[in-house]
Amino acid sequence: MKIAEIPTLFLTFALFFGKFIHIMAKRKVLFISAEILPYLPETEMAHIGRYLPQGIQDTGKEVRTFMPRFGCVNERRNQLHEVIRLSGMNLIINDVDHPLVIKVASIQSARMQIYFIDNEDYFQRKYIATDEDGHFFEDNDERTIFFTRGVFETVKKLRWPPDLIFCQGWFASLIPLFLRKVYSEDPMFSKAKIIYSTSDDEFKGSFDKNYSRKLISENITQEDVEKLTDPTYINITKLAFDHSDGVILNTPNIPSELRQYADTSGKPHIEYTNKKEYVSQYAAFFDKIIGV
């Protein structure tokens, strides 16, 4: 062998070895949901929030799961505890500082940890989205902003770059926007794909009329959130579709306007089937979006 050929052979081997390591590395999937069993009563969203991550983990992927620490989550029964090294940051929402508190619990039978985004101002109340009289909380818009930023900042602290983000329901509807506009150049998220799933959580009326203004920042312009000048469930969901790589229509009676929007978006989308089949169906869709 000629000496001049050694560097070329070494380079070829290094490239092959690099590709092999990339293929063998476990893909990472970040799950974000407002409801997860057993922390909240069973709903379609809570069931998916609990069993979809486990099913995806069983396919050989790494998973992390986040939800809000609503006041109705029983900390003692579910053995939640604060993670001091992840807490301590303040997030400014509508010009007010709000401390970010991170708690964690384990679902031992599934070998999964659940991270909880907590804050006394937004989550220390006994109900999720409405008060005891059924009235929509006036600060639900700010709660979604805090939750969204809290998830991203915590994942950064964990130093855990996801290959795919799955988020479901309107409480997580800002995740796609923030991924594309705020965190797109962050090395932790720059390669992440995202799937948004609807859920059976449609609300009537709209968020605070200043929702879009509260979102405007160095990275988010008025044009980016133009749909939210009328922050209805339909428009909030459309904005989530706009910034996603794939969409799951997980709502049996999804509004026809949203179905048509998904159909004409050009984005890959699928529908929920049933509890026996959705994990394998979603797993195949995840691989398609990731590019496996």
Statement: the pTM of the whole predicted model exceeds 0.95: no
What is the per-residue pLDDT for 15? 43
What is the per-residue pLDDT for 252? 82
Average pLDDT, the chain: 92
Q: How many helices (H) and strands (E) does the chain have?
A: 10, 11
Using CA atoms, how far apart are residues 24 and 31, in angstroms rounded to an integer?
22
At position 19, the amino acid (one-letter code) is K
What is the per-residue pLDDT for 19? 43
Q: How many CB atoms lie within 10 A of CB 258?
A: 19
What is the per-residue pLDDT for 3? 52
For 3, residues 6+ apart whose C-beta sits below 8 A from its C-beta are: none
- Give pLDDT tens digits for 160-193: 999 999 999 999 999 999 999 999 999 999 999 9
Q: Is the pLDDT of residue 44 over 50?
A: yes
Q: Is the pLDDT of residue 94 over 70?
A: yes
Specify whether the CB–CB gap between 116 and 75 falls below 8 A.
no
**Starting from the edge strand earliest in sequence, which strands make up the sheet with 269-271, in order?**
81-82, 101-107, 112-118, 62-68, 28-33, 164-168, 193-197, 246-249, 269-271
Q: Is the pLDDT of residue 21 over 50?
A: no
Q: Is the pLDDT of residue 2 over 60?
A: no
